[in-house]
């Protein structure tokens, strides 16, 4: 996803846009790019084991993590779940272009649903200087999430001033333009056909969103998984940015059990694009099965 600038003709990939129908609801996966992140951010597994697993899966080391967002169109309304990194570095910040490729202007988005407040999710909310990128949107997030990132005592428990600014300071700045149009929730339906599913641990108010219409559903599970090659077969693997790594691991295991048992379709902010998949048990572990690319807007996975 680098932006090459050499030569008269520039070859680019097609737009990072993929559509899926969930009953009467139109879900669009939007790709924001990827981040290459140091292996020191992966915890709960020996570094050599993690590197070997990535090598066996033909993945780069350090870890390469996709960044995605999801558009929901239902009943004449439009919601965006998460906003990507913003133009923070050359390999991310493609959400705006892909939103346009999907035929949507930022002014048409009436609701922004946040899974949680980490920079790779709130970066596209605003310019950080008071200008909202979605001028007509109501911002919706879990009450615990809002409270945590606005808690000065929690902020001061972070020893590194740079990390305090990156996570707490930047979260507050990106949310500021939406101050008068922010709605906090703890659960329930947050948009027509979309129900909030609290999934705490990664952050206190980390939330998934269940999109359901008729007998069809899709669980957008947020950051339950950052590195699918590691955390699916070994759910004990956590991330340095987990606020509560023990709870994050417990939440992941409980959700994996439920998703596998129910054959629930899932999507994730850090699954490989287009980020739609199913999860199955594999002995005492789990296996992620990415959905096959298809022209069928309803997908072709049997129930």
Q: Any idea what the CATH number is for the domain that residue 194 is in?
A: 3.60.15.10
Residue 100: inside a domain: yes
Band (pLDDT 50/70/90 cuts) for residue 10 is low
Domain membership of residue 147 as a residue range: 17-290
At 29-76, the pLDDT tens digits run 999 999 999 999 999 999 999 999 999 999 999 999 999 999 999 999
The answer to whether residue 164 is domain-embedded is yes
Tell me whether residue 34 is in a domain. yes
CA distance 244 to 37: 20
| C-alpha angle 106-112-113 in degrees, rounded to nearest 5 | 155
On the 0-12 / 13-18 / 19+ scale of CB atoms within 10 A, 138 is middle
139-172 tens-digit pLDDT: 999 999 999 999 999 999 999 999 999 999 999 9
Three-state DSSP at 218 gives: strand
Examine residue 190 and state whether it is found in any structural domain, yes or no.
Answer: yes
Q: Is residue 7 part of a domain?
A: no
150 belongs to a structural domain: yes
pLDDT attached to residue 128: 87
Average confidence score pLDDT of the chain: 95
Count of domains observed in the chain: 1
Q: Is residue 299 part of a domain?
A: no
Beta-carbon contacts of residue 68 (< 8 Å; ≥ 6 apart): 29, 30, 31, 32, 82, 84, 267, 268, 269, 270, 271, 273, 274, 275
Let me know if residue 301 belongs to a domain. no
């Amino acid at each position: 996803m680098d932006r090459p600038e050499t030569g008269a003709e520039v070859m680019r990939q097609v737009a990072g846009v993929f559509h899926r129908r969930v009953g009467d609801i139109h879900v669009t996966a939007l790709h924001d790019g990827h981040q290459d992140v140091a292996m020191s951010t992966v915890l709960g597994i020996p570094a050599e084991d993690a590197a070997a697993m990535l090598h066996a899966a033909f993945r780069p080391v350090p870890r390469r993590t996709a960044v995605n967002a999801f558009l929901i169109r239902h009943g004449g309304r439009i919601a965006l779940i998460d906003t990507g990194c913003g133009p923070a570095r050359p390999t991310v910040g493609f959400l705006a272009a892909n939103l346009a490729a999907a035929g949507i202007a930022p002014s048409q988005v009436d609701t922004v649903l946040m899974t949680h407040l980490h920079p790779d999710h709130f970066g596209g909310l605003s310019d950080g200087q008071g200008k909202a990128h979605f001028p007509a949107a109501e911002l919706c997030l879990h009450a615990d999430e809002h409270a945590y990132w606005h808690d000065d005592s929690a902020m001061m428990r972070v020893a590194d001033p740079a990390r305090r600014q990156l996570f707490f300071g930047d979260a507050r700045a990106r949310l500021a333009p939406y101050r008068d149009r922010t709605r906090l929730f703890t659960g329930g339906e947050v948009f027509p056909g979309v129900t909030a599913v609290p999934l705490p641990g990664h952050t206190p108010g980390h939330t998934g969103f269940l999109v359901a219409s008729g007998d069809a559903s899709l669980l957008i599970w947020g950051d339950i998984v950052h590195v699918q090659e590691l955390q699916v077969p070994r759910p004990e693997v956590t991330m340095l940015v987990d606020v509560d790594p023990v709870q994050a691991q417990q939440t992941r295991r409980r959700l994996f059990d439920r998703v596998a048992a129910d054959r629930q379709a899932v999507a994730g902010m850090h699954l490989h694009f287009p980020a739609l998949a199913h999860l199955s048990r594999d002995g005492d572990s789990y296996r992620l099965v990415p959905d096959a690319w298809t022209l069928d807007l309803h997908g072709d996975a049997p129930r």
